[in-house]
Structure formats: C-alpha cells, structure tokens
Structure 1
C-alpha cells in the first residue's frame, strides 16, 4: 500500500511532449511506497480573480488532487525562456482564493527536458521562484536539466542506462525530500 501520493504536473499539453515522456520514465523509478497521479491542467479556464468565489469544476478537481497529495513533481517544458502559460495558469488557479492555496507546504521537485543544451534550466529557475512564494519546500539538489536527444531513450521508450542512473538518483533524493517534509 502506498504511503505517499505524489501529484505529477507536466507543463506541456502536447500529445508527444518530451516532458510527458520524461515524467512517465521518472515515475517508474519511484520507491514502492510512492504512487503517482498525473494532474490534468489542460482543461482549466484562464485564471480570472472574479471567479474565485465560484471556481469551475476543473479548478476544484485540480485543488482536490493537489490537496490529497503529499508532494508534487513539476516536469516542465521551457517556452521563450520561462514556464509555459498553461503551467502558470494551473499554479494560479490552485493558489486562489488568497489564503486557500492547495500548494502550501507540499514538497516539490522540479525537473524538465528540452532539445536545447540547457535542458529547461531557465524555466526551472522561474518556477522555483514561484514555488518559493507559494511556500512549497522545493528540493534544490540535485538539479536536473535534461538535454533530450535520440540517445536518451531506447526504441521502447526506456531510459538509457546512464540517464536512468542519474534520474534514479534524482528520484531517490526527491523521495527523501518528501519523507522529510510531508
């Protein structure tokens, strides 16, 4: 039986998203007492503070899923040197109304991949700034800026051995982070 449910927020809506593929590989590396739930963010309306008193069903679902988790893994793409708008929209929704943030206190892990050589580093830094404001203890080390290329996965979508070892280390550290902060 799982003791820790971890929400997985993928900051890309693309069907063949590199970050969704990374998230799928990463959750396979989780310890047995961890379960992972992908949180849908593509069905959320654009955030409008006027709606705080009567949030859409999709927003209520998002907040409930985050609230039910003991931690959150953000797997983010980098768009124009920052986080994707869809991810920021989800963060804003689940943090509102003011004083009722579903994110507060949830231990976070931040990771991402891109075809660029800096592997989503700037998006991750921007996201870390937002998470600090939301009072999410965010794992600082190891950082993981994954350069996505053909050698990252085999033909079946499994991580190559070198990347698997590195990401296993990242997951082990994140699991320890959750145990410490959840």
Structure 2
C-alpha cells in the first residue's frame, strides 16, 4: 500500500503536544505510507472572498491548497480551545473548502485526532472539526478516533512517541487512514 498523508496541526505553539503527536505519526507511518507535517498555517490569512478570486489567492493559501490536493488523505491534529477547535484550523478548513464543491478536501479521506489538557482529550474540538470538514466536502472517517486526555501532565516529561498507549492508538489511526486511501469504496466513515 502506498499513501501520502498530510498532517495539519491546529496549534501554532512550538512545544505543542498536538505537534508532538503529529511528529510521532511521521515516525510511525506504516511501510509505503508517508506522513508529511504541513508547515505554514500561521501565515495563511483569514479567509475572505475578496482575496480569493478567479484572478488569484494569497500565495500561502495556494501553497496549502496544493499540498492538500496532492495528498491522498489528511490527518488533523487538534487541541481544544474553549470547547472547540482553534481558529487557525477552522481557517485552514475554510480555505481548503474553496472553490465550493471542488476544494482540495472534496472526497478526500480525512481523520481528526488530538490531545488536550481536559479529561476528555479534546473530543468537542474533534467533533467540531469533523463537522466543518464534512461540510467542506471531505470524506470524514468518523470511526477513526483518538482523544488523549491530560496532555499537560501526561506529556510533561515524555514525548508522545514514548507512550505505549499513544503509539498503539496512533498506529491504528494511521493504518485505518491508509486503508481508506487504498480502498475508498470499501472503507467508509
């Protein structure tokens, strides 16, 4: 099996536990699968139809759209900010949803996972991200779930790649996303 998975991280903080989780995914990718961590979400301006025209769009948005279009699947890592996904992630989804009906996410398998400080691991943010991604045209893999609670204390001394439970869960997520790419008609949400 061969697949290219684009990882979008909804936290811009250098020491973000979700970024660390995405880094772990890069190293845990099954044979033939590449996980590419997208850099540059912070540079993409807030979505505005006035700057997204037939004549062009900001270079940073064009670059992000191209990366998503070239990927076979997208894996979103989201923290939970005030009970929902961060603005930077919602903004990326908005850009990737355009043009309406033909955006870079249209029909593409997408899974949402993450870690958060709270006792539920960011499930509200993940639910909101799945909803927005589905409306944006992605083929959301609803059965793929990984919500890791207590990130601040759990990963205070260790990287997520050193946590056996995280490795098991993340490996299963990567396998499922890879299978969705390999057999899109058979693996459904």
TM-score, scaled relative to structure 1: 0.90
Residue 174 of structure 1, CA deviation: 2.1
Call closer, same or farther: CA 1:163–1:21 in 2, change over 3 Å. same
User: 1:156 Cα shift?
Assistant: 6.1
* Shift, 1:77, TM fit: 1.0
Contact 2:68 2:74 in 1 (8 A): yes
Unaligned runs of 5+ in 1: none
What does 1:1-182 correspond to in 2, within 5 Å?
3-39=2-38, 40-53=40-53, 54-147=56-149, 148-152=151-155, 155=158, 158-181=161-184
Equivalent pair of 2:21/2:160 in contact (CA under 8 Å)? no
In the TM superposition, residue 172 of structure 1 has moved relative to its aligned partner by: 1.8
Number of equivalent positions:
181
Distance 1:106 1:70 in 2: 7
For residues 93-152 of structure 1, what are the alpha-carbon distances to aligned partners after superposition, in whole Å with 9 as ceiling and x for unaligned? Answer: 122233431110110111010111110100000111112112211222242111125445
TM-score, scaled relative to structure 2: 0.87
Name structure 2 gaps, 5 residues minimum: none
Residue 162 of structure 2 aligns to a residue whose secondary structure is coil
Task: Return structure 1 stretches of 4+ with deviation > 4 angstroms.
Answer: 149-157
Q: Distance in 2 between matches of 1:143 and 1:158?
A: 18
Tell me the C-alpha RMSD between the 2 structures.
2.0
Moved more, 78-87 or 88-97: 88-97
